[in-house]
Structure 1
Amino acid sequence: MSTLHLAILAPFIGALIIPFWALHIKRVHSGWIVFAIPLALFIYFLGFLSTTSSGQTVQETINWVPSLGINFTAYIDGLSLLFALLISGVGALVVLYSIFYLDKKKESLHQFYVYLLMFMGAMVGVVLSDNLIVLYIFWELTSLASALLISYWYGRKKSIYGAQKSMLITVFGGFSMLAGFCLLYGVSGTFSIRELIAQADIIAASSVFIPAMILVLLGAFTKSAQFPFHIWLPDAMEAPTPVSAYLHSATMVKAGIYLVARLTPLFAGGAQWFWIITIVGLVTLLWGSLSAVRQKDLKGILAYSTISQLGMIMLLLGLGSAAYYVDSDQAAAYYSVATVAAVLHLINHATFKGSLFMAVGIIDHETGTRDIRKLGGLMAIMPVTFTVSLIGLAAMAGLPPFNGFISKEMFFTGMLHAITLEGFNMGTWAVLIPIIAWIASIFTFLYCGILFIKTFLGTYTPEKHEKKAHEAPIGMLISPILLASLVVVFGFFPNLLSDSIIKPAVTSIMPALSTNASFDISLSMFHGFNLELFMTIGVVVGAISLLLLMKKWQSLQLYQRERDPLNVVYDRGLDGLISGSQFVTRLQMTGLLRDYFSYMITFIVFILTYTAIKYGAFIFGVSHTAPIPIYVWVLTVIFITATISILFIRKRMTLIIMVGILGFLMALFFVIFRAPDLALTQLLVETVSILLFMLAFYHLPELPKETAKQSLVTRNVVISVAVGSLVTLMGISSFIMGSDLNLASVSEYFIQNSKELGGGYNMVNVILVDFRGLDTILEGLVLAIAALSVVAMIKLRFKGGEDT
């Protein structure tokens, strides 16, 4: 096993160790052990910077199911390394923050850290996996671990609600994504992302290109909280603040961003990719910023701001894909500015949003409230938290000299480039993209201003707080201070990461840029008095104007509605799903075995008939037949007569005997057609079955005297005739039997391979033991589980009897 695979598995190994550590070694806080894992991973991944910055990649493979093209392939390039550093670096700071944030005496910390490590390992697995199926497995593990973390305080109804919502929405997207992966495999014959990108032209020409794209994007949009799937993210804020700072600002919500960026070389050849991502990102950006203004909870504001910022990054990736439509290297570099801005803002967002979540957690921890209507005047009481928040909010609002200003300026540049895009039939409508983006930026500045003013300025009202406000201990301040420091450092030294991280990530998204001599990344705080700068000034003026007029518009009903209206759609849809499933359950689960058999047999008849008709399986006519002896005709008449007589028998014992006669007649047919082993098996099984039936039915009450309903009789007759007719038609069909069609019979395979592969001459036994070995083992497992369940219920019954 390579070190890359060990890096992926390290958090899972840690998750296994933590419960034993917490149980037996209580003197040392388990958080310090957990802290060492992401810190070690961060240092380990830093060692790949020189490799990726030189344009090289690292790939390690462990064969898993090679016959299906499923291998555990770990792959590092500029993009995956960027995300691995974010996951491990921010993860280390979050764990350090949680050590001082969560109460060791009141909280089940071992559970928290197990869930957190599960999530960390799953995210590392997502960004380092080259195989789509392995990526999907880790993808769903992130949803599971996220739901466990959101519901960590499971005594709160809102926590359970938020966890359920996040699980339902993201898993729905995950299943859709898996379907898209399967479509891609059907066209290309591979699950490898590298090999899929190499076949991009073939896949683009396929009829499943658009369906596969839409299904994959559903997975990305649900995970990254894009409109209209964004509604799970605000409710996920019921999780502890370290979870919000990690999952919902730096990692989980970025998984969808990663998937879009990773598959851009595969799908960007179609204009649909550009349109879908651009429109969804633009709508999410605007909707998130508008919704954030209406929130009264600090984490609620940050939640919707995260949605807005994710929409911004998604919009930039969509616009950046336009570079795939141009032939000129210079034009490609021109349009790639949006992709550079997306990667840059991805890093910036992780720094300023992580610090803001931690600062909000400190405010909640030290005052007992996150309601901005109860806060105010904390600037003098919590000066360090105030400074961290000021830096983070200024960066998010896009003010100099912080890193958010640089990415915001590049964002405006990318939006202005959209006006000049050719090949998309946009016309004058293209001007709407920068206009809407500019309006959304005004509201971004506005909610940053509201959060800052309502929390730190104004009058301090301690009577509205549950606790006496004071500054947090130094241990809780270290992580947000480090993140805020990065905001300042990346602002004053913007090219610090240009060649080492940003450029390798961009060239991973757009491989053609790696050979483009004109492509270079040079970031600076000031680019002169250009249109982008005037757009920023307009944002500041517009937002400040709204802040000054806040008393006039904050009484609007729209502002008073904090809850997203799309939640109504989700709640009603979930209620409808539950009531619908209950209706179907009541309709299906009648408690009558005959109904269950009717449902199953009807479905089998329908699907087999449909398949046979679709593929023309009902082909009749045989060119040669063997002579049928008279005794076979006699046995056949007896068999049919015995079968029909069952319909008119009312006595149980007589009915069982008649069924046994049919079984013995079948054994006689086996003897006639030279299958003595089957005949012996049939005789033994039939004898034991008859004895058991007679023993069981002898103690049952008499059959009811009332006559069955005519509808029930009609249903049974229709089903019986349908089953009999279908089996008869399939039995005499030349297509099914392979007669006169030169079709290879499946029996020939077993005849030729039973001895060589199974080591036996009895073909039936070899099929059961070897060729169907796994199936047989699972059948035995099911029987064992059923037996254990029966034993457990019997013991519980006896125990209950003794107690009573």
Structure 2
Amino acid sequence: MIYAVLAPLFFAFFIPKLSKLKHKIHTGVFVFFIPFAIFLYFLSFLAKDFSVYKQTYNWIPSLNINIDLYLDGLSLLFVLLISGIGSLVVLYSVYYLDISERLGHFYVYLLMFMAAMLGVVLSDNLFVLYTFWELTSISSFLLIGYWHFKERSRYGALKSMMITVTGGLSMFGGFIILYVITGTASIQGIIEQTDIILNSSYLPLILILILLGAFTKSAQFPFHIWLPDAMEAPTPVSAYLHSATMVKAGIYLVARFSPVFSAYEWFFITVSLFGIITLCWGSYMAVRQTDLKAILAFSTISQLGMIMAMLGFGTKAAVFAAVFHILNHATFKGSLFMVAGIVDHETGTRDIRKLGGLYTLMPITATLALFGTFSMAGVPLPFLNGFYSKELFFDASIKLNTGSLEITDILASAIPYLAVLGSIFTFVYSMYLFFGVFGKKKNKLSTKPHEAPIGMLLAPLILVIGVISIGLFPNVFNGSFLAHAATAISGETQFGQIKFWHGIDSPALLMSLAVVGIGTILVATRLKWQRVYTVIPGKRSMNNVYDQMMKKLDSYSEQFTNFYMTGSLRTYMAIIISTIVVVTFTFMYITDGFSIQFNNLANFKFIEIAIVFSIIIASVWTIFSNHNLAAILILGIVGYGVAMLFVIYRAPDLALTQLVIETVTVVLFLLCFYHLPKLRKRNESKTTVITNLIISVSFGLLMTMIGISAHSTNWFDKISDYFVETSLTVGGGHNIVNVILVDMRGIDTLFEIAVLGIAALAIFGLIKLRNDKEAK
């Protein structure tokens, strides 16, 4: 499985070379075979007797971080969507994107995103999952901002990045707490310790942090605002990221951790409440839009809210309905995004106010849109898969479990009505979308559009065939992998047959009839009641809140940066050293790091005291010296004094090294200081002098305390013992210091030499440049 995850990243390295052949063969033709091969590989796992597959690869074993891959029914559902729809999106992009585009960049970003999503849904390790999670944010940022020359593309990319990465960091905090509580980074291991988590005092915090990651990624209210702006991406990106994959990452996260949190009542309250609000708000706002992709964006928000709500319900029926709708939504929404791209490609506009009457001009596209929109609306027809999962949603909403909290009972009573309300507006925007584009209304186009080429129609056609096939033979998909996906979440091993007809007295059917009846009335009278949008939301918008927050952030950041970026080296050093002192001292004090023992000290000799006293006097004297040469020579006393201590402590090699370095340093200082202005006493205020004194003394004391504490602390075995034992056997030398420098840390020494060499070349270049200027 690891090869399937890394294959897109591996082949991405070859895309820049292949893109040079785009004038002969479209780059997407080469890319198509990558997701298609992955799809065929995972398709081989489909079976009624499906069993879980695990693979482990060492990554950072010392930190208990391994690449643990876990393929169960839930992850299999997602990898098939990621690779299957990914194949169709690449096929669609071959006809959508012209060869004049930066195809190399596009497909590298797309493959990067594909690998990231595969890693997210297959990872069993918390930290590996988080790594792939953030890679999806980065790659989606690049895809959304693909047309970087457009301001709206840059704005949408940054917006999605800010919101999803912020949520991702919150999720990471929850992961860390889970790891500390359970002692394992394995998600399956965490699920096995559900009782420990449910009894932890950190449970509410863990839930909030993880749900923030899920809600931001899956565009739940009020974090939904990034998704409509992300529609500035090319349509293949919208069809892939925002219908079938990225926006469902949050859905996957909630589903994966449902076994841990489903017994916690606030999980039901939080997830169900935000999900049902998102369903209603997204469907309500979709009717307001005039851009085709904006309508689909808000419809996606609405559908994601519906799935999230069902996962929040937590019942086995609701979980199965959620899994079923994940599949259904990917088919009809993916096809509709592609249809919107076709309309835009052939007419030159996505403004629904300019469109109309395209059914006779683009009959195949219109037919595909018909199946997609009517399935999304949940119209009760046996060949539309959207109706089945919507019926299951209604049925699950009226069979919710009661809880110990009053708010649970109130919410459980309100959810069926809110489900109907959100579904009514779902019906309205679906009909608004279809008839607004393909109905009898006369369009305002300057040129007569024509049907799209067959290549562009092929991908949405396959998805529509999927809509019809699932609608006609739902139990074929149920037995092969839907039941396995639901089992991975709820633990239920058997699910009943999916049926179209449940009887005339079925509450779910009555709810569907209410949706169609009321929805039809609202569609017919839309022009009369749509003025309600001037009141709700009116001028109030979460986008305005986001924009104001970003402006404030920019303003405060600029002020803070101007505060410390003064151009003064003294200020920079004061800030850096003060921060080191405060942070290090605080951390060591909290962790009881200052451990000083005097029971194992050697006796002092007079010569040692005299040398140390000379070093101290020379150090202080250097500060008050007003002459360059004197300051350098006095500073040399410090270095030579340290060399004498090495001699006394029987370390002749270190003493020799110190003498050589000190001699060379003094000579270099003399050469450099010859070209610098003479030292002079600066007229500084008492505040500055006192500040300098406090910072210097504090840093010196801190280093002294750290040195003494390090000598007095035995938290772990000393590394010096290892060097003593292995310097001869491993390094082949009796001189331990030389072996350490040349063998044990030879790479460090090599890079140190390289740094010194680069610095020397830079200095030589500066001197040469100055001499050339003086010669002129």
Please report the TM-score for the alignment, with normalisation by the length of structure 1.
0.89
SS at match of 2:531: coil
User: 1:9 aligns to what?
Assistant: 6
Say whether the 8 Å CA contact 1:237–1:299 is kept in structure 2.
Answer: yes
User: 1:331 aligns to what?
Assistant: none
User: 2:369 aligns to what?
Assistant: 389
- Which of 137, 141, 164 matches 2:158? 164
**1:242 to 1:727, Cα distance in 2 relative to 1, 3 A:** closer
Say whether the 8 Å CA contact 2:215–2:223 is kept in structure 1.
Answer: yes
Aligned-residue offset at 1:434: 2.0
**1:790 to 1:647, Cα distance in 2 relative to 1, 3 A:** closer
User: 2:402 aligns to what?
Assistant: 421
**1:791 to 1:541, Cα distance in 2 relative to 1, 3 A:** farther
The answer to which of 272-281 and 499-508 deviates more is 272-281
2:541 is equivalent to residue 565 of structure 1 = yes
2:168 is equivalent to residue 174 of structure 1 = yes
2:83 is equivalent to residue 102 of structure 1 = no
Q: Distance in 2 between matches of 1:479 and 1:147?
A: 25
Per-residue CA distance 1:57-104 (angstroms, 9 max, x = gap): 222333233333333333321111111111121112212211222222
2:362 is equivalent to residue 362 of structure 1 = no
User: 1:679 aligns to what?
Assistant: 655
- Which of 431, 438, 442 matches 2:413? 431
Say whether the 8 Å CA contact 1:294–1:562 is kept in structure 2.
Answer: no
Taking only aligned residues, the RMSD between alpha carbons, in angstroms, comes to 3.0
Alignment: residue pair count: 769
Say whether the 8 Å CA contact 1:247–1:253 is kept in structure 2.
Answer: yes
Q: Distance in 1 between matches of 2:273 and 2:446?
A: 44
- Which of 41, 52, 56 matches 1:57? 52
* Identity score, percent: 50
User: 2:711 aligns to what?
Assistant: 737
2:249 is equivalent to residue 255 of structure 1 = yes
Spell out the pairing of 1:240-389 with structure 2 (5 A cutoff). 240-320=234-314, 335-389=315-369
SS at match of 1:32: helix
2:518 is equivalent to residue 542 of structure 1 = yes
Q: Distance in 2 between matches of 1:493 and 1:596?
A: 70
The answer to which of 538-547 and 556-565 deviates more is 556-565
User: 1:412 aligns to what?
Assistant: 394
User: 1:493 aligns to what?
Assistant: 473
Spell out the pairing of 1:183-198 with structure 2 (5 A cutoff). 183-198=177-192
The answer to which of 55-64 and 751-760 deviates more is 751-760
Aligned-residue offset at 1:602: 0.7
Say whether the 8 Å CA contact 1:492–1:525 is kept in structure 2.
Answer: no
Q: Distance in 2 between matches of 1:162 and 1:753?
A: 57
- Which of 55, 62, 71 matches 1:67? 62
User: 1:91 aligns to what?
Assistant: 86
The answer to which of 538-547 and 389-398 deviates more is 538-547
Say whether the 8 Å CA contact 2:134–2:168 is kept in structure 1.
Answer: yes
2:579 is equivalent to residue 599 of structure 1 = no
Q: Distance in 2 between matches of 1:116 and 1:622?
A: 63
**1:744 to 1:338, Cα distance in 2 relative to 1, 3 A:** same
Aligned-residue offset at 1:137: 2.7
**1:429 to 1:223, Cα distance in 2 relative to 1, 3 A:** closer
Say whether the 8 Å CA contact 2:376–2:430 is kept in structure 1.
Answer: yes
Spell out the pairing of 1:202-221 with structure 2 (5 A cutoff). 202-221=196-215
Q: Distance in 2 between matches of 1:149 and 1:665?
A: 61
Say whether the 8 Å CA contact 1:231–1:564 is kept in structure 2.
Answer: no
Per-residue CA distance 1:431-474 (angstroms, 9 max, x = gap): 1222222222222122222222322224323xx43543222122
Per-residue CA distance 1:312-358 (angstroms, 9 max, x = gap): 111111112xxxxxxxxxxxxxx210000100000010011011111
User: 1:653 aligns to what?
Assistant: 629
User: 1:76 aligns to what?
Assistant: 71
Per-residue CA distance 1:707-732 (angstroms, 9 max, x = gap): 12322212101112212333344455
Q: Distance in 2 between matches of 1:217 and 1:790?
A: 54
2:131 is equivalent to residue 151 of structure 1 = no
Runs of 5+ unmatched residues, structure 1: 321-334
Say whether the 8 Å CA contact 1:294–1:560 is kept in structure 2.
Answer: no
Say whether the 8 Å CA contact 2:626–2:680 is kept in structure 1.
Answer: no
- Which of 37, 41, 61 matches 1:40? 37
Per-residue CA distance 1:508-546 (angstroms, 9 max, x = gap): 1123x23xxxx3231111211222122222222322332
The answer to which of 18-27 and 594-603 deviates more is 18-27
Aligned-residue offset at 1:210: 4.1
The answer to which of 336-345 and 124-133 deviates more is 124-133
The answer to which of 652-661 and 633-642 deviates more is 633-642
Say whether the 8 Å CA contact 2:595–2:712 is kept in structure 1.
Answer: no
SS at match of 2:70: strand
Say whether the 8 Å CA contact 1:115–1:149 is kept in structure 2.
Answer: yes
Per-residue CA distance 1:166-189 (angstroms, 9 max, x = gap): 222222233333333333333334
Q: What letter matches 1:737 in structure 2?
A: H
- Which of 443, 465, 468 matches 2:445? 465
Q: What letter matches 2:402 in structure 1?
A: L
SS at match of 1:75: strand
2:116 is equivalent to residue 125 of structure 1 = no
Per-residue CA distance 1:271-330 (angstroms, 9 max, x = gap): 34333322222222222122212211110010011011111111111112xxxxxxxxxx
2:431 is equivalent to residue 449 of structure 1 = yes
Q: What letter matches 2:616 in structure 1?
A: I
**1:267 to 1:769, Cα distance in 2 relative to 1, 3 A:** farther
**1:710 to 1:428, Cα distance in 2 relative to 1, 3 A:** same
Q: Distance in 2 between matches of 1:76 and 1:189?
A: 23
Please report the TM-score for the alignment, with normalisation by the length of structure 2.
0.92
Q: Distance in 2 between matches of 1:416 and 1:789?
A: 75
Q: What letter matches 2:70 in structure 1?
A: Y
- Which of 685, 690, 710 matches 2:666? 690
Q: What letter matches 1:33 in structure 2?
A: F
The answer to which of 229-238 and 567-576 deviates more is 567-576
User: 1:233 aligns to what?
Assistant: 227
Q: Distance in 2 between matches of 1:450 and 1:154?
A: 32
**1:729 to 1:351, Cα distance in 2 relative to 1, 3 A:** closer
- Which of 16, 41, 47 matches 1:19? 16
